[in-house]
Structures are given as C-alpha cells and as structure tokens.
C-alpha cells in the first residue's frame, strides 16, 4: 500500500455551484497549440488552406449543433452565440483575406482573427466580457486543433466518471462533454462565476469552485483525492483523515438540513406572529427556474436580462419568446423583468472611463432608444396573463422614470392598436432603488411608480463609495453598514407612507443577517438567490415581526458593521434553531 506523504493543502477560490464532492480528480490538460506561420508558396496551396478552413469551420459548427435540441434554454443561447461567431461572414472574409493576402496557412489566419476579437473584449472593464474573451481564446485553440486534425477535435482519453475535473477552465463543449461522461465536480484554476461553464455546471447541480490559482493545479495529479466544497469555495487537496471525516459529516448534515428545509417549500413565508411576506427569487438565466420551483418561490422578483444583450439585444421576437415562456412558467406568481443594466460590472461591449459612475443602466438605454423600445415591446408582448412587471435599473432622476413611462405607454398603445394584441396588459412599472439619489428622493419617486425594489449591492457601493468588485477594499464593502441600513429604512418608511410596494432584491435579502432587519423594516417582499430561498423562509417563519421591529430600532442607533453583526447574530440565535448559509458564513466559522 502506498503511504501518504503529501500534506493536506487548502485552496480558496470562488463559489460557483453549491455541494460537496469527496473523491478523485482527473486533470484535463489543454493540448499545447502551435500555430504554423509558414509562407504558402503556390496559389494551389492558398486554395487548399481556404478549403481546410471551411471544412474545419463546418465540422466545428456541426459538433456544436449536435444534441442542441436537448439543451436547456440558457445553454442553448450560449451554444448559439458560439455558432454565430463561427458562421459570421466577417470572420470568413477576414480569414480568407489573410490566407490570400499574407499567404499564410488557415490555422494562422483563424488564430489571428479570433485572438484579435478576444483582445478587444479583454480590454473591457466588465468581468462578463472578459470571460467571453477567454472563451473566444479557447475557441481559437480548438479551431486550430481542428484544422490540424482534419476538422476533428481529439477527445480527452481520460476517466471522467465520478471524478472532479481539474483544469484551468473549460469551453462550453468540453463542459457538456465532461458532464455527459459522468464528471461529478469541477475545480478550475481560472474561470469566473458568470462563465458559460459555470452556468452549465450550476444547471446540472454539480459542486464547483473556480479561480483557485496556478499553485492549486500544480499541487494535484490525476487520481489524487480532493474535497470540493462548493458552499464555501474551498478545495482541499490530499485531505487528512480527520478532514475527510469532518466533510463526510458536513455532507450528511447539509443533506439532512436540506431535507428539513425542503419541508418548508410549500409553506407560506410568514413570521411567527403571522405577518406575511412575499418571497421571490432572482434569476440571471431562465434555466435557474427549475431550482426556483424546487425551492417553492412565489415568483421572480428580479430577472436580470443582460445575458440576452450580446446576441439578442435587438431581437424582439426572441426576447418576447423567452420572457413569455418564463412568465407562463411562474404564473400566477409575478415576473419582474429588469431592463438591460449595462455598464459597470455588467456586459456592455465598450470600455468606460467611469464604469460605475458613468453610462450605466437606464442612462445607456435612454441614449439608445432602439434598444430600449425593443426590450419594452418584448416585455409588453410577454404580459398576456398580467403577471409581468417592468423594472428600471440605476434610476437617479425622476426624469428617467418619466421618460420610460412615456415610452412604455406609447409602445403599449401602438401594440394594442393591432387586434391580435387584444389580450395584452400594461405591465406594472417599478424602479430599482440602488443610488443614494433614488433612496433620498424615494418619497417623491413613490408617486410615479407601482413598486420599489431595493438593490442593496449597488446601494452599498454608492453609499459607502466603495466599488463592488474592488479586492483591496473588500473589507469596507458591507451591506450591514449602518449608513446602508439607514438608507433602506428611509426608503421603506417612504414607501409605506405612500402605499407603494417595497421589495429588496440585493444580496442583503439573501444574507441571514439581513433578513431579520428587513422583516423589522416591514418590507413587502424579499427576492433572493435561488439557493437562499429556503434558508430565508426558515428565518422569516421563525422570527416574530414585533421583535424584529425592536431589533431595527436598536440597530438604527449603532455605529459600526461589527455592532450590527453582533446584534443580529444574538437575535437570530434566540429564534432560529440552525442556519445553513449558502454563503457558508456559519459553516466557515466552524470549519
């Protein structure tokens, strides 16, 4: 028997998909790609290279199209966007021009064109665009390999069944192939939460941790044992016996707790003293709907639509089809569709001088009315049953609300003038409260809208003047800061005075420490990450509203995040038996 000499090592990455995997790894090494730059000596050779390019491209498209009908909608969108890059006539034109004019082989031309595209996206401020850039780089190397192998991509001849896949990152195709071959977890040295691989893995409910770093990859070999903890974003290589035992226990505990929490699925969200709340879910892509349904959400409080921007921003028909389908699936529950929130941390496609404080959200849309009107028409057309609501992101001026309202009315009138649209209803109009301006003016804004949804993620960054994604200032970015909580309380009080529905869709609503405070402020609705639905309901159902109100009064007098955290933690300990945090805060404390 082999004696274990290697030491246990713990690597921290980002949580991409929850769950715990204990087992062996398979390393997928990316084949190194060498691109030939040789000069083509004859016209015949030039024509042959053009044929090679076309054949490899067609094969690539065919492979991507294979089995496409069985894919969930969101993954379909991903695959289709790759297909449309490959089929783009500009790509063909540019590649052929390089082969002809520079007299270089197909692999050189393809690589040059795709790398250029990737570099353009790489310069973007947005993580989402940079992740797309990485994907295009991978497409480039896959394309080169196909040209070198007469159109084929060599499969990985490695064991994938029941393994955790360790690699730098995977393409859409590789991810799907690994899952179909039985992979059970993913640990990547690179990759991001909104990468397509991440979306797919979440859809299949497999644990995943990304961005573990290069040191992680070099510490592990195929066949080694690892623990992938998708709850806390940790991967443990060569775990000690004690660690293994602890994680086996944790895995069981999570299973039990999940079972217990699942009993809450169909119960109403109601405090122990009978105050009802509406509990909704936030989704980034429609494939999360299954999760949402499993966990008993009453509807969707925030449908982020940015994923549609790249491929379908001006495609009214596809947008309508997608919104309609989601609306039908959540009916009779509400579906709050947020207009494209472009800029800052999200997809945009161009570089910004001042990402968070410049062109963002509604500011972009009002400058590009075609984009805005297309989306508004699709949203109206989806409102066949009356459960669709439209939400404006990043509002900071009343004029922005008035402008959207006017466009909404115009488009609605125009659509209704066609008898085929007789059944359509005007969607309710709401705004995100996520800028200090909107929060401070909420008493006035309340007169112009049907609902508020407080976006605590952005509100925190703007109130505290700390960028959301700034690693150096991460310790300062906290939605439990008294300044943020006071802003939220001010908005809730104004909403109540004006009889306007107020919900919270920022992460504070998914944070167990935020929930009692929001209950105490008497919000009407919490809209949370799908994975946080049951833990949130557990807290709502366990605490008395009257006591939560007292807690808020107390917290409003506190000065620091630590004081708030202590006050809420002792409150929770009094009323909630055990809390499983998807984010793993309690679990991390114990680990």
CB of 269 to Mg ion, least distance (A): 23
Question: In this structure, what is the dihedral angle of CA atoms 433, 199, 580, 247, given to the nearest 10 degrees?
Answer: -150
Which residues lie below 8 Å from residue 305, measured CB to CB, with a gap of 6+?
319, 337, 338, 339, 340, 375
Pick between residue 186 and residue 303 the one whose CB is nearest to ligand PEP. Answer: 303
Q: Does 126 bind ligand PEP (CB under 6 A)?
A: no
Residue 383 has φ and ψ, to the nearest 5°, of: -90, 65
Query: Are 527 and 504 within 8 A, CB to CB?
Result: yes
Pick between residue 434 and residue 507 the one whose CB is nearest to Mg ion. Answer: 434
Pick between residue 393 and residue 583 the one whose CB is nearest to Mg ion. Answer: 393
Pick between residue 199 and residue 432 the one whose CB is nearest to Mg ion. Answer: 432
Q: Chain-centre distance of CA 387, in angstroms?
A: 23
Pick between residue 236 and residue 449 the one whose CB is nearest to Mg ion. Answer: 449
Q: Does 456 bind ligand PEP (CB under 6 A)?
A: yes
Query: Are 126 and 345 within 8 A, CB to CB?
Result: yes
Q: Does 304 bind ligand PEP (CB under 6 A)?
A: yes
Which of 95, 166, 365, 505 contacts ligand PEP by CB under 6 A?
505
Q: Does 355 bind Mg ion (CB under 5 A)?
A: no
CB of 453 to Mg ion, least distance (A): 10
The site string for ligand PEP over 164-183 (x = CB under 6 A, - otherwise) reads --------------------
Distances (CA, A) of 81 to 67, 128, 385, 404: 16, 14, 30, 29
Q: Does 458 bind Mg ion (CB under 5 A)?
A: yes
Joined together, the tokens standing for residue 408 give: 């909404």
Pick between residue 207 and residue 455 the one whose CB is nearest to Mg ion. Answer: 455
Pick between residue 35 and residue 391 the one whose CB is nearest to ligand PEP. Answer: 391
Residue count at the site for ligand PEP (CB under 6 A)? 10
**Distance separating alpha carbons of residues 289 and 326, to the nearest angstrom:** 8
Q: At 549, which helix (H) or strand (E)?
A: helix 545-555
Which of 13, 191, 506, 530 contacts ligand PEP by CB under 6 A?
506
CB of 281 to ligand PEP, least distance (A): 12
CA proximity to 131, closest of 65, 205, 211: 211
Q: Does 115 bind ligand PEP (CB under 6 A)?
A: no
Q: How far apart are the first and last CA of the chain?
A: 30
If you ran DSSP here, which 8-state letter would residue 276 be given? B
Q: Does 305 bind ligand PEP (CB under 6 A)?
A: no
Distances (CA, A) of 41 to 47, 48, 92, 150: 11, 12, 22, 21
**Within 10 Å of residue 431's Cβ, how many Cβ atoms?**
27
Residue 163 burial class via C-beta count within 10 angstroms: exposed 0-12, middle 13-18, buried 19 and up: buried
Residues 324-363 that bind ligand PEP (CB under 6 A): 341
Binding site partner of 298, from ligand PEP, Mg ion, none, Cβ cut-off 5-8 A by kind: none
**Within 10 Å of residue 286's Cβ, how many Cβ atoms?**
22
Q: Does 457 bind ligand PEP (CB under 6 A)?
A: yes
**Within 10 Å of residue 279's Cβ, how many Cβ atoms?**
25
Q: Does 455 bind ligand PEP (CB under 6 A)?
A: yes
The site string for Mg ion over 403-442 (x = CB under 5 A, - otherwise) reads -------------------------------x--------
Instruction: Catalog residues that contact Mg ion under the rule CB under 5 A.
Output: 434, 455, 458
Instruction: Catalog residues that contact ligand PEP under the rule CB under 6 A.
Output: 302, 304, 341, 434, 455-458, 505-506
């Amino acid at each position: 028997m082999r004696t274990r000499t290697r030491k246990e090592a713990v690597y921290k990455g980002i949580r991409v998909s929850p769950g715990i995997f204990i087992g062996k790894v398979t390393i997928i090494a990316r084949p190194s790609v060498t691109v030939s730059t040789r000069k083509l000596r004859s016209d015949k050779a030039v024509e042959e290279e053009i044929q090679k390019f076309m054949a490899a491209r067609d094969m690539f498209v065919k492979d991507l199209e294979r089995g496409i009908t069985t894919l969930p909608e969101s993954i379909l969108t991903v695959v289709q966007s790759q297909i449309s890059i490959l089929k783009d006539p500009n790509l063909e034109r540019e590649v052929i021009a390089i082969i002809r004019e520079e007299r270089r082989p197909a692999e050189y031309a393809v690589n040059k064109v795709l790398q250029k595209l990737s570099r353009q996206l790489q310069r973007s401020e947005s993580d989402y665009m940079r992740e797309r850039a990485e994907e295009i780089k991978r497409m480039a190397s896959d394309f080169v390999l196909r040209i070198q192998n007469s159109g084929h991509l060599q499969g990985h001849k490695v064991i994938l069944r029941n393994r955790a896949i360790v690699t730098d990152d995977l393409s859409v195709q590789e991810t799907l192939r690994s899952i179909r071959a039985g992979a059970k977890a993913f640990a990547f040295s690179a990759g991001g939460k909104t990468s397509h691989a991440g979306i797919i893995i979440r859809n299949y409910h497999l644990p995943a941790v990304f961005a573990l770093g290069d040191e992680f990859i070099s510490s592990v070999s195929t066949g080694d044992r690892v623990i992938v903890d998708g709850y806390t974003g940790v991967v443990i290589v060569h775990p000690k016996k004690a660690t293994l035992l602890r994680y086996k226990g944790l895995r069981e505990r999570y299973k039990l707790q999940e079972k217990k929490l699942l009993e809450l699925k169909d119960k109403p969200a109601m405090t122990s003293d009978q105050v009802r709340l509406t509990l909704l879910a936030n989704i980034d892509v429609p494939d999360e709907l299954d999760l949402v349904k499993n966990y008993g959400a009453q509807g969707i409080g925030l449908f982020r639509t940015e994923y549609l921007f790249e491929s379908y921003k001006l495609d009214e028909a596809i947008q309508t089809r997608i919104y309609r389908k989601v609306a039908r699936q959540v009916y009779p529950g509400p579906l709050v569709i947020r207009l494209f929130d472009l800029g800052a941390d999200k997809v945009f496609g161009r570089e910004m001088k001042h990402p968070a404080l410049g062109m963002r959200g509604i500011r972009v849309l009002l400058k590009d009315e075609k984009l805005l009107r297309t989306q508004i028409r699709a949203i109206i057309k989806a409102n066949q049953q009356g459960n669709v609501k439209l939400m404006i992101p990043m509002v900071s001026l009343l004029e922005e609300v008035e402008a959207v309202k006017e466009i909404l009315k115009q488009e609605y009138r125009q659509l209704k003038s066609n008898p085929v649209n007789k059944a359509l209803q005007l969607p309710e109009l709401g705004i995100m409260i996520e800028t200090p301006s909107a929060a401070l003016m909420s008493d006035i804004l309340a007169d112009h809208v049907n609902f508020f949804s407080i976006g605590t993620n952005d509100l925190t960054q703007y109130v505290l003047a700390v960028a959301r994604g700034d690693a150096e200032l991460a310790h300062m970015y906290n939605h439990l800061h008294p300044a943020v909580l006071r802003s939220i309380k001010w908005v809730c009080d104004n909403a109540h005075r004006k009889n306007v529905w107020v919900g919270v869709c920022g992460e504070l609503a998914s944070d167990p420490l935020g929930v009692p405070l929001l209950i105490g402020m008497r919000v009407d609705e919490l809209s949370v990450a799908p994975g946080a639905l049951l833990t949130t309901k557990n807290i709502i159902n366990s605490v008395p509203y009257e006591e939560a109100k007292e807690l808020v009064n107390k917290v409003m007098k506190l000065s620091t995040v630590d004081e708030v955290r202590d006050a809420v933690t002792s409150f929770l300990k009094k009323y909630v038996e055990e809390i499983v945090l998807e984010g793993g805060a309690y679990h991390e404390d114990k680990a």
